Amino acid sequence: MANATEIVGQIYDAAFDAELWPELLCAIADYTGVENAALVANDPQINYSSVVTPRADPQVVSDYAEHWWKHDPTAEATAKMPIGQVTSLDDTGRSRFFASRFYNDYWRNTGLGAERIATNLFIDNDGFASIVLQASPRHDEIDDDTRRRFLLLVPHLIRSADITRRLQRMAFEKATLNAGFGTHQTGTVIVDAMRRVLFADDAAEQLFGARSGITVVNGRIHFANRSATAALTAIVNACSETRFSLPAGRRIELNPSRPDTALAVDISPFRIAGVAPGEPRPAAILLIDDPVRRRRQQADALQKNFGFTPAEAKLALEMLKGDGRAAAAGRCGISINTARTQLSSIFEKARVTRQAELIKVLMAHERAY
């Protein structure tokens, strides 16, 4: 059996490799003298539950994660406790626990005792992750030595979880930076295999609340078009598999009949080395192209860098399409004479004398921006 120093080392190793948690939980159970140790995470906002507990019956674990977590009175009590505070069945209320459907219809048949102690490793809004020690039905009690040993490990478990969450956040932000985070071209969203939103940048958050056709309902991303949501589900499922039944990268166009204003979403698999304890595993990254927002920010940049008026910036962007002054004027809703006057001012501010030179300058500016 590992000693305390060895287990503390394993705890910090698990901060960088989530695959070590099953072995770590077994070591913690042995060291503290209990039947079982579990890492439990519940988040009602996204209808999510996760349990890592290698010594429990897999069917028991599956039943809990799929249904019983919503009825677990011990989880309800634990969720309200500060990080690091150790709770027991007394905090739930023994009579309440033993009278519950959770105990009588489920827990008493799990092969585990009723007694347990737990502490939260982190709390995130209504969600939390906790480490739980569970007694044996043959010796259904938590003694003082178990509690003392658990308390030695608790600060290290909390720090390890915090390190992993920080590393995960950095991995998400690095991915969005590589994909164009904060630029005029994309909003970035990272989802798990169930389309639950794990990360969204500011541009994506703005789209969610702007009647854009993309919303988040109960923590999951949805498109207004049902067939597009079904396609997204299939692609994200494929991204979550080891071998992809669909191409690794796919694009969904929302309202493709209006290409000038329609959003487009590129979906690709997304992996990171470590996943925070109990949190959903990321499956896919979504890059949202918003033409309206992109043009607005391009126009703002032209006004800032060249001193164009809003009307001049709009015309300059239309000129970039390369189909001539008359076509650009028509899309802007102005006459040829007005376009001619505005172009003269644009030429002067951009320090060019011909349309070809203007297009070259604007394209260089667009690449730099």
3-class SS shares of the chain: helix, strand, coil, % to 5: 50, 20, 30
E-state strands within the chain = 36-43, 48-52, 87-88, 116-124, 127-134, 187-192, 197-200, 214-217, 220-223, 250-253, 264-269, 282-289
Tokens 């992750």 — which residue?
A: 129
Whole-structure pTM value: 0.69
Q: Cα–chain-centroid distance for residue 357?
A: 44
Spatial distance between the Cα atoms of 34 and 40, rounded to a whole number of angstroms: 16
Predicted pLDDT of residue 46: 78
Q: Same structural domain for residues 157 and 192?
A: no
CB 215 within 8 A of CB 208: yes
Residue 142's domain spans which residues? 4-169
Do 151 and 241 lie in a common domain? Answer: no
Contact 346, 328 (CB under 8 A): no
Asked if residue 68 and residue 32 are part of one domain, the reply reads yes
pLDDT of residue 273: 66
pLDDT for 259 equals: 60
Helices H / strands E in the chain, number of each: 15, 12
Phi then psi dihedrals of residue 188, to 5 deg: -120, 135
CATH (domain of 184): 3.30.450.20
Query: Which residue is it, tokens 């720090």?
Result: 159
> Are both 16 and 63 inside the same structural domain?
yes
Could you tell me if 356 and 236 lie in one domain?
Answer: no
CATH number of the domain that residue 163 is part of: 3.30.450.80
Tell whether 347 is covered by a domain. yes
Residue 264 located in a structural domain:
yes
* pLDDT under 70: residue ranges of the chain: 179-186, 242-249, 256-261, 273-274, 276, 367-369
Identify the pLDDT of residue 7.
95
What is the average pLDDT score of the chain? Answer: 85
Same domain, 17 and 137: yes
* Whether residues 23 and 69 fall in one domain: yes
Strands 36-43 and 264-269: unpaired
Q: Are residues 196 and 271 in the same domain?
A: yes
- Among 289, 309, 338, the domain boundary falls at 289
SS3 129: strand
Residues 36 and 125 in one domain: yes
The one-letter amino acid at 77: A
What does the alpha-carbon distance between residue 50 and residue 130 come to, in Å, rounded to a whole number?
Answer: 11
User: How distant, in Å, are the alpha carbons of 158, 252, 309, 344 from that of 331?
Assistant: 59, 26, 17, 18
CA-to-CA separations, 222 to 3, 179, 194, 231, 291, in angstroms, rounded: 49, 21, 11, 11, 20
Domain contains 363: yes
What is the count of structural domains for the chain?
Answer: 3
* Residue (of 305, 315, 369, 366) closest to 345 by Cα position: 315
- Candidates 271, 282, 226, 270; CA nearest to 252 is 226
Decide if 200 contacts 189 (C-beta within 8 A).
Answer: yes
The reply to whether 81 and 119 lie within a common domain is: yes
Q: Which of 234, 254, 289 is the last residue of a domain?
A: 289
Residue 174 lies inside a defined structural domain of this protein: no
Structural domain includes residue 279: yes
38 and 127 belong to one structural domain: yes
**Partners of 192 in beta bridges:** 282
* pLDDT for residue 244: 46
Burial of 326 (0-12, 13-18, 19+ CB in 10 A): exposed
CATH label of the domain that carries residue 324 = 1.10.10.10
Q: Is the domain of 121 the same as that of 232?
A: no
Q: Is residue 175 part of a domain?
A: no
340-345: Cβ within 8 A, 24+ apart:
342/311, 342/312, 342/315, 343/315, 343/319, 345/309, 345/312
Final residue before a domain boundary, out of 233, 259, 289: 289
With both helix axes pointing from N to C terminus, report the angle between 4-14 and 21-32 in degrees, rounded to the nearest 10: 160
Does residue 129 belong to any structural domain of this protein?
A: yes
